[in-house]
Structure 1
Amino acid sequence: MVEKTLNNGVRIILKETKGEGILGGYTFIKSGTHEEWKRGLTNLTSIMLLRGTKKFDSFQIASAFEDYGGSISADTTDDYVQIGFATKTEGLDKALEVLESMLLEPTFPEEQLEREKKNVISAIRSKREKGFELAMENLRRLTFKGTPYEVSPLGTEEDVSKIEKDDLVKRWNQILKGKNVVFVLVGDFNAEEVLPKVEKVLSKIPPGEFTFKEENTSVEESKVVYVSRQGAQATILCAWNGPKLDDGNWFSFKVLDAVLGTGMTSKLFQFLREQKGYAYATYSMFPTRLFSPRLFTYVGTSPDKAEDALKDMLEVVRNSTIKEEDVELAKSKIIGGFLLSHQTRLSQAWYLGFYEVMGLGWKMDEEYPKLIQKVSLKDVLSARDRFIKEHHCVVVKP
């Protein structure tokens, strides 16, 4: 492992591997949807990075990676922009040349902008045709009200339709600051030889930092919102408070999440599906976000069973009996899944960069399994008692 912080604030992390001459890289830019003046602006900006620069058109950008059997992508999450690529070792110089042009001289061609705006609006509409996505859209508005997370990174139809090229240029200049950027490369290369090449590119990124205020909101009062939608299935999605990244309960809550809703041995699956026969599907998830942490629990069932399923899901989350063996099984699931998700160099690069950009430090990629393993039954029960109280729920049904 080689790490370095450049004078402009950019963090570089290089990890050498031994193999067949392949590599994967990620550039993270801490920003996401924070401080957007038009919802969906950052996502559209990231998409447009692939549509042309002063040196390369969209075909040439794709060819620089696909000619070696690789790929390149760019998108936006709630808290960061990510640009990922995979290529062969001999394609690294070309990859860095293209990446430099994308970062420093994107042209945001207007004819492609109009097409991408239509694509994004179509994606927003399409998501509403899916029960889970419609429920999440409404749950975001309820549980993240008044914060950037209130709307997904895709944005709103109204705002996306009004985005112009000047908005993209302004947003990109706003967020592309050295202290917000993390670059990770994992693959079959010599780090000492590669580091100067990477430095040459990334040192050109403007210094400074894009800062945004911390906007936290919590579930203070239980609420259930009903949304009408045609179809034969009811979707129930609930949000619960969770610990922040720097809270000592964060790892315990990850284990609680796995106990409740990971796999067919989880509490939700065993009770709602196996015992009660409510569920087409049921699970939980605890996404890692900078602010306003939430545990989400989901069940899909038939409309006539929706009220009973909601009642029982709330009961399982709050009061299901958790034993030592449940915690040990959950920890095994988490650690096993974590290791399996690191099989490619691209995924290894993603995890290193993700932990770094979220403020946990890239070494968390090494420490995470150990810290999960240390969680005890007492820790899990304590975390549930502290955070699992009030709930926000959305029920989508005919």
Structure 2
Amino acid sequence: MTGATTLPLVAGEQSFMAAGECLVRRSVLPSGLRILSERVPGARSATIGFWVTAGSRDEAPDEYGSTHFLEHLLFKGTHKRTALDIAVSFDAVGGEHNAITAKEYTCYYGRVRDSDVPMAIEVLADMITSSVIDPDEFETEREVILEEIAMAEDDLGDVASERFFEALFGDHSLGRPIGGSPQTIREATREGVWHHYRRNYSPNRLVVTVAGAVDHDELVEAVQRHLTLGGWDLDTHAEPAPRRDAEQAVPATASSTLIVPRPSEQANILMGVRGLAATDARRSTLSVLNSVLGGGMSSRLFQQIRERRGLAYSVYSFSPSYSDAGVLGMYAGCSPAKAESVAALMLEEFRSIGTGGILPSELDRAVGQMGGASALALEDSDTRMSRLGRAEITMGEFVDLDEALRRLSLVTIDDVADLGAELASRPVSLAAVGSVADGMFITAEGA
């Protein structure tokens, strides 16, 4: 494949070869349902994903936590299957099945042998269309989710991550916890979650992606048949749900510091700035910048904070992106007594990329790291399935490995320095959890 392939939101068929002689096919059906497959030569298994284009940021004020609640409930039984039936379907063939709730989508997925793909499609389609959301199961699962949240509250790194997004995005929906809070889960009603289910689970908001051993024509037939058996109307014409507007600016926030005092042996520190949206043309440049800053054992953060000074065991940077916003963040776990010094060093290394740029050797190493990591990740059908989903839901284009490597190869030292300077000019937010106190991190304020 040469260049990227655009994925227009109009009914029709697309077919093209991707790197590694993988056949990618896409069908946009009149109902608005979208089905994508990537056939990998020699594969004997496949990963199937049913993506709903609604995440935690799409919840109404009286629905906070409903997306995550619903993710749990779809495994609890349908009109045809009990929760045990669903579990046995995959366990009996050595398969895997799970789901993920994210800020912009929910994905239910399974990984099975090639001969079990029809079963996986049937079960996942049944879950998507026909969950009964039984009142008794609803109350049982409420307790399970409260336990899940309690477990996360005991992980100070998780707490710091949630507070960091809150500091960075403020009251915006991207700043809310994906799983909800104990209060919102306790206040959730079956009627509210049912309304969320019926509003968001429909053919034009569903994307099905399969990677590995898959025949596209058989896939399309099976998906349509089982969705129809589940009661969905695939005969009524509808446009696919539009992709989120990348130009819709997330309101700016000032520098913010959130401290959560907890008795602990370590302070968990997250610091960073607003990054780039998923469709920003400079995403490859940001990948290089992130790699140089904190993407591995040779990165600046690791070398300066761990190797040279021994101030932390775990230190790294990360750069998630959404349709209209992004993050460039840094994490370190260290002794509370060292927390202020570590935060200052993190900020210094981040800013140094904008003021002093990077070395040619750092650029080469980052490009090699990103290229190798991408190639290795694609050995897994889960990654390929997820790539199809993100391409369809967020990006609006499919980029294979060759094109991704080409884009990385075009990144220059000046590109990284320019982006580093732009990001360094943005307000810095910080969250710290542990035996820390207000006033310890004044270096982050007003940055």
TM-score by length of 1: 0.93
Check if 1:371 corresponds to 2:407: yes
Matching residue's letter, 2:31: N
Check if 1:338 corresponds to 2:362: no
Relative to 1, partners in 2 of residues 1:205 and 1:257: Cα closer, same or farther, differing over 3 Å? Answer: farther
CA contact (8 A) 1:50 1:74 kept: no
Q: 2:259 aligns with which of 226, 238, 256?
A: 226
Distance 2:67 2:379 in 1: 30
In the alignment, what sits opposite 1:190?
Answer: 215
Distance 1:9 1:384 in 2: 40
Q: Give every structure 1 segment of 4 or more consecutive aligned residues whose post-TM-superposition deviation is greater than 6 Å.
A: none
CA RMSD of aligned residues (A): 2.1
In the alignment, what sits opposite 1:8?
Answer: 31
In the alignment, what sits opposite 1:252?
Answer: 285
In the alignment, what sits opposite 2:386?
Answer: 350
In the alignment, what sits opposite 1:217?
Answer: 251
Matching residue's letter, 2:283: W
Range moving further from structure 2, 363-372 or 164-173: 363-372
Distance 1:271 1:294 in 2: 22
Range moving further from structure 2, 203-212 or 75-84: 203-212
CA contact (8 A) 1:28 1:354 kept: no
Distance 1:118 1:365 in 2: 43
Query: Deviation string for 1:147-184 (max 9, x for gaps)?
Result: 11222211011111121221222111111233332211
1:201-350 mapped onto 2 (5 Å cutoff): 201-202=226-227, 204=232, 207=238, 214=248, 216-219=250-253, 221-320=254-353, 321=356, 322-350=358-386
Range moving further from structure 2, 176-185 or 270-279: 176-185
Range moving further from structure 2, 17-26 or 165-174: 17-26
Query: Deviation string for 1:225-248 (max 9, x for gaps)?
Result: 322110111121112121222322
Equivalent pairs: percent with the same residue?
A: 23
Relative to 1, partners in 2 of residues 1:78 and 1:234: Cα closer, same or farther, differing over 3 Å? Answer: same
Distance 1:292 1:20 in 2: 36
Matching residue's letter, 2:333: G
In the alignment, what sits opposite 2:150?
Answer: 125
In the alignment, what sits opposite 2:195?
Answer: 170
Relative to 1, partners in 2 of residues 1:153 and 1:387: Cα closer, same or farther, differing over 3 Å? Answer: same
CA contact (8 A) 1:25 1:350 kept: no
Distance 2:43 2:433 in 1: 49
CA contact (8 A) 2:43 2:212 kept: no
In the alignment, what sits opposite 2:159?
Answer: 134
Q: Tell me, what secondary structure is at the counterpart of 2:141? A: helix
CA contact (8 A) 2:278 2:325 kept: no
Q: CA deviation at 1:397?
A: 3.0
Matching residue's letter, 2:87: A
Check if 1:395 corresponds to 2:429: no
Relative to 1, partners in 2 of residues 1:20 and 1:276: Cα closer, same or farther, differing over 3 Å? Answer: closer
Matching residue's letter, 1:292: A
Distance 2:239 2:136 in 1: 32
Query: Deviation string for 1:48-94 (max 9, x for gaps)?
Result: 11110111111111222222211211221111000111122222222
Relative to 1, partners in 2 of residues 1:335 and 1:360: Cα closer, same or farther, differing over 3 Å? Answer: farther
Q: Tell me, what secondary structure is at the counterpart of 2:211? A: strand
Matching residue's letter, 2:25: V
Check if 1:23 corresponds to 2:56: no
Distance 1:279 1:165 in 2: 45
Unaligned regions of 5+ residues in structure 2, if any? 1-23, 436-447
Query: Deviation string for 1:238-263 (max 9, x for gaps)?
Result: 12121222322222112111110111
Range moving further from structure 2, 190-199 or 206-215: 206-215
1:150-165 mapped onto 2 (5 Å cutoff): 150-165=175-190
CA contact (8 A) 2:276 2:321 kept: no
Q: CA deviation at 1:364?
A: 5.2
In the alignment, what sits opposite 2:4?
Answer: none
Q: Tell me, what secondary structure is at the counterpart of 1:232? A: coil
CA contact (8 A) 1:355 1:365 kept: no
Relative to 1, partners in 2 of residues 1:178 and 1:190: Cα closer, same or farther, differing over 3 Å? Answer: closer
Matching residue's letter, 2:290: D
Matching residue's letter, 2:404: Y
Distance 1:50 1:139 in 2: 31
Relative to 1, partners in 2 of residues 1:179 and 1:375: Cα closer, same or farther, differing over 3 Å? Answer: farther
Q: Tell me, what secondary structure is at the counterpart of 1:50? A: coil
Distance 2:159 2:118 in 1: 43
Matching residue's letter, 2:154: E
Q: 1:359 aligns with which of 371, 395, 400?
A: 395
Query: Deviation string for 1:291-331 (max 9, x for gaps)?
Result: 33111101111111111111111010001551111111112
Range moving further from structure 2, 307-316 or 92-101: 92-101
Q: CA deviation at 1:205?
A: 5.8
Query: Deviation string for 1:70-124 (max 9, x for gaps)?
Result: 1211221111000111122222222222222112111012222212211211222
Q: Tell me, what secondary structure is at the counterpart of 2:59? A: coil
Q: Tell me, what secondary structure is at the counterpart of 1:4? A: strand
TM-score by length of 2: 0.83
Matching residue's letter, 1:70: G
Distance 1:202 1:101 in 2: 7
CA contact (8 A) 1:50 1:61 kept: yes
Q: Tell me, what secondary structure is at the counterpart of 2:330? A: strand
Unaligned regions of 5+ residues in structure 1, if any? none
Q: Tell me, what secondary structure is at the counterpart of 1:184? A: strand
